[in-house]
Structure 1
């Protein structure tokens, strides 16, 4: 087999493996909770899972175990489904992931979603030093105290989309902010915790007012200004880990690769058939030439005998 054809076939095999591996990979779904990932005891919550548009089935995992299964309706048309928890309890608090099926393939699990239940223990007290009104550039420390013995505390700012701050301490924890800017002003609450997903009642709110300095509008993506949303009955409203449009496999690129691969395989087959036909033609020509020479030899031999 010619060297060029061998190279072509190896290239076709390589591209086939690359396309196959890319087709076998589905984009990771996104998962979020509504109205929030922090839910008071006894309240409902909905877990949303979003995959690609041709997803036909979704699975929800709780603490690594399959918890629920939902099919898109109509099949292959909806790119997200919801899993409802009608009453939040300590048994439903924990880490969730989801995955989806498209065709015969299942995607990898989503990033984790941690559902937290509140209102399970006594209410802590929250205070701020040196006071609730400070000048920009000063150091501020929040103190969260809980009479019921615990060693883990969380501090949240209302309206924040960032993750809560966590600190450790014996019945009390300190949350220091230095230097403070106008971006730190807002309403704060704290919680005591006995594990990452089971928290106490929220403390009474403490509002921090920062004066002086210039208005700081260059906040990080996780430091959004505080809103006037009410704390009750839920905490801050946020879509943890949610993206409006998850990164999906580019179907146009996939189709182009498949077309190129099919064309390459077709070219290889044509080359193989052409080579085989050429060999057959050469073999036939050789056989005809040998037969012609044999006939001539026979004719000459007979003529010689006749003479």
Structure 2
């Protein structure tokens, strides 16, 4: 999934050229973690982790996410330790002052597949694949008036996952006649920064096997990895929502008590 930030293509400014991006706005999806009482589906997060490992990790790091946090997805400590050991990380210096590589431990973070950004750009048509730690919070399409007003009351915060899903499922569309797509880039009407980007279509139907019988389609893959990336960006989202509800409930009760106290104290005072 190299270069989700991608590389915008220069415009030729003819009649078929778009004047805004994305060309097609993301569709608002039905996420389990949406709304004031939303929570994560651990089975979906596990499938999303599988997508990340088998597809995305070839180009994208998650250098803010530690392996030990995967226990939140329902894995045991032993499973997390075994999962981490499948990766290698750089450590050191040793007693000779040299850096060395070793198998990752649960306390380590998901490593980058490239030694540096220059190597990453050279391997991806000049575009450095962004780190995925916060991608679900860093990406999203601005929703104009009056939609953003309603978002305040519905607590819509799923713009990132909606965008990721839209981007991954929009590759098979063809550009309008007359629109020129620069060589080495790929048309995607859901891309937020241009008409095409450096990342080629990263996944196809049946590419990743699900052991739980979930449909192995691009649409499902996109939903699962988008949900996983949302968890990576905000792992304590359900707890935050629960705390927020408790605070609002407390404020409502406290406000009611204050009002009742005020009425009692001033009941016999002449106005």
TM-score range, shorter chain: under 0.3
Task: Give the TM-score of the pair, scaled to structure 2.
Answer: 0.26
Structure with greater contact order relative to length (CA < 8 Å, sep ≥ 6): 2
TM-score calculated relative to the size of structure 1: 0.24
Higher strand share: 1
